[in-house]
Chains A and B, each alone.
Chain A
Amino acid sequence: MYIMYSLKLAVQSIWREKWINLLSVLTIAAGLFMITLTFFSVYNMDLATKKLPEKFSMMLYLNNDLPEQEAANIISTLKKNSAVERARYISKDKALEELKGVLKNADYVLEGINENPLPASIEVKLRQESVSISKVKKLAADIKKIKGIEEVEYGEQFLNSIHSIKAGAQTLGLLMISIMSTGVIFVCYSTVKIMFYRRKEEIETFKLLGATRGFIRAPFVIEGGILGIGGGVVSLIGTAALYYTLFYKLALAMPIFKIIVFPSEVFIALPLVGLTLGISGAIIALGRIRFS
């Protein structure tokens, strides 16, 4: 029943100390905006690295004297592996033809070569979920054991790079989000602590009149929550402005911005994240209330 009264006390307190509270809201908003930017960057990087495996393939170079029938047998063996999406045989002649296609006007480099030097090969396309360092390494080792395969090439460095970029971005993002969240909690903590000390005498009177811990804490927790939501809403306005600038203004001049994905859930999440961090800061600030 005292929630409405606590809400009234919280609003009164915010209004009474409006400048310090406004400053807190803006600081929280800045922190939440930074969190959004970090999340936004990690999210897009994650999406980009998820798309890279689509381009990933393994090349299996066959022994020079391997009959085409043997190659067909190898392909059917490969297709039985759940990690393999498709396998394509590339004959020596086809390989040369493709090389010429790639070289185009520079095909003079092949002049003077009488015999086709390229080996026959099998191009293996893996299922996206199987494109991970450990899985690919194991698959390559298994394939290499198949009779008739001379060499397996799969761009180990490329895979390692993707993995490192992804892991690095996630770790850095998580670190940034943790630091910023701690900062936001600290701002709420400090603000509520100041309010608490300013009303210390009043709180002592409340205690002597028989107020419970819940009654004493409630206005401050609500105040922390309101500051958090306020910060969330202000950062949402900032984020919306950024969204508008990126997608409607900059994208016209630089189409690259069109490929950036902006999850709309962020707009709902920001005030909620603010609320959670604000309440957390307030609860930490209030600590244990003693009656004697």
Chain B
Amino acid sequence: MIHFSNVSKIYENQTALRNITFSVEKGEMAFITGPSGAGKSTLLKIIYLSEKPDEGSVTIAEWELSKLKESSIPFLRRNIGVVFQDFRLLDNRNVFDNVAMALRIRGMTEYDVKERVMEVLKTVNLRHKTDSFPKALSGGEQQRVVIARAIVGEPTVLLADEPTGNLDSDTAAGITRMFKEINAKGTTVLVATHNRELFRNTGRRVIKIDNGAIVGEELG
């Protein structure tokens, strides 16, 4: 599903990723772990085309990213749900509109948007917060809104960048459970985290990254 082959990324003389080669199979749930600044976010950014690799090739499903036309990028992104580290919620829109945004950009009718958004908000247990604005929500609730937005379009790949960054352990456990449920429905899930608690005893593959390079792999 996701295939990196000898990928390197350099930011102004600083190497963010060096010779990264790995694959994530379709329907798999995997973790990328490493200390802050190891290159986890850069790796995810390359997958959702926010960054371009300087060397190597990346393939997502049948798309070879370096050969992708710029006008096709939006259509690939619609197949990748992203839980951003900084949430990227729109403060001037309520929970419903923040989640609905991912469907409206696809030109879906308002009737279908409403039906699907309500369904997803129920999944993340936020149906009672549809009219609330992000600033009125707790960190865990905001995180669940972001997850709802990421999965509402039924993407084939779900990426999560430090999804439990500032959350307490109970909320973090709830978020991990949610990812497992999403993965159980067939979505490929790749989670970047420095929090070992998140993948401990999950039995999932954990790719260790340090200083921009893969330094090992284990089962969580």
- Contact of A208 with B105 at beta-carbon distance under 8 Å, contacts A290-B70, A291-B70 already known: no
B73 at the interface (CB under 8 A from A): yes
Contact between chains at A212 and B49 (CB < 8 Å) = no
Q: Is the CB of A210 within 8 A of B105?
A: yes
User: Which B residues are in CB contact (< 8 Å) with A109?
Assistant: none
Chain A residue nearest to B104 (CB atoms) is A5
Q: Are B77 and A210 in touch, CB under 8 angstroms?
A: yes
CA–CA, A205 and B150, complex, Å = 12
In the complex formed, the residue of A with least CB distance to B149 is A209
**A2 CB contacts on chain B under 8 angstroms:** 104-105, 107
Does B122 touch A at the CB level, under 8 Å? no
A275–B96 Cα distance when bound, in Å, is: 33
Within B72-127, the residues touching A (CB, 8 Å) are 73-78, 82, 84, 88, 90, 101-102, 104-110
Contacts of B50 in A (CB 8 A): 208, 292
When the two chains form their complex, are residues A208 and B88 in contact, meaning their CB atoms are under 8 A apart? yes
B144 smallest CB distance to A (angstroms) = 17
| Contact call B74/A211, Cβ cutoff below 8 A | yes
Q: Are A292 and B75 in contact (CB under 8 A)?
A: no
B3 on the A face (CB < 8 A): no
B14 at the interface (CB under 8 A from A): no
Cβ-closest chain A residue relative to B82 = A208
- Tell whether, in the assembled complex, residue B70 and residue A212 are in contact, meaning their CB atoms are under 8 Å apart: no
**Minimum CB distance partner of B100 in chain A:** A5
Question: Smallest CB–CB gap between B151 and chain A, Å?
Answer: 12
Taking a contact as CB atoms under 8 Å apart, the answer to whether A209 and B73 are in contact is: no
A1 to B110, CA, bound (A): 9
B52 touches A292 (CB 8 A): yes
A207 close to B (CB within 8 Å) = yes
- Could you say which of A1, A206, A291 contacts B73, with CB atoms under 8 Å apart? A291
Q: Would A202 and B149 count as touching, CB distance under 8 A? A: no
- Residues of A203-252 contacting chain B, CB below 8 A: 204-213, 215
Nearest residue, chain A, Cβ from B65: A292
Asked if B48 is at the interface (CB within 8 A of a chain A CB), the reply is yes
Instruction: Name A215's contact: one of B51, B52, B84, B105 (CB within 8 Å).
Output: B105
Find out whether the CB atom of A291 lies under 8 angstroms from the CB atom of B105. Answer: no
B101 to chain A, nearest CB (A): 6
* Highest count of chain B CB atoms <10 Å: which of A208, A209, A212, A213: A209
Which B residues lie within 8 Å of A202 (CB)? 90
Contacts of A1 in B (CB 8 A): 107-109
Chain A residues, Cβ within 8 Å of B77 = 207-210
Q: Which of B31-90 contact A (CB under 8 A)?
A: 48-52, 70-71, 73-78, 82, 84, 88, 90
Given contacts A1-B108, A1-B109, A212-B74, 14 further A-B contacts (CB under 8 A): A2-B107, A205-B88, A207-B77, A208-B50, A208-B77, A209-B78, A210-B75, A210-B153, A211-B105, A212-B105, A215-B105, A291-B49, A292-B51, A292-B52
B residues neighboring A (CB under 8 Å)? 48-52, 70-71, 73-78, 82, 84, 88, 90, 101-102, 104-110, 149, 153
Instruction: Enumerate the 10 nearest inter-chain pairs by beta-carbon distance, A residue then B residue, closest first.
Output: A210-B78, A210-B77, A1-B107, A211-B105, A291-B73, A210-B74, A212-B74, A205-B88, A2-B107, A209-B102
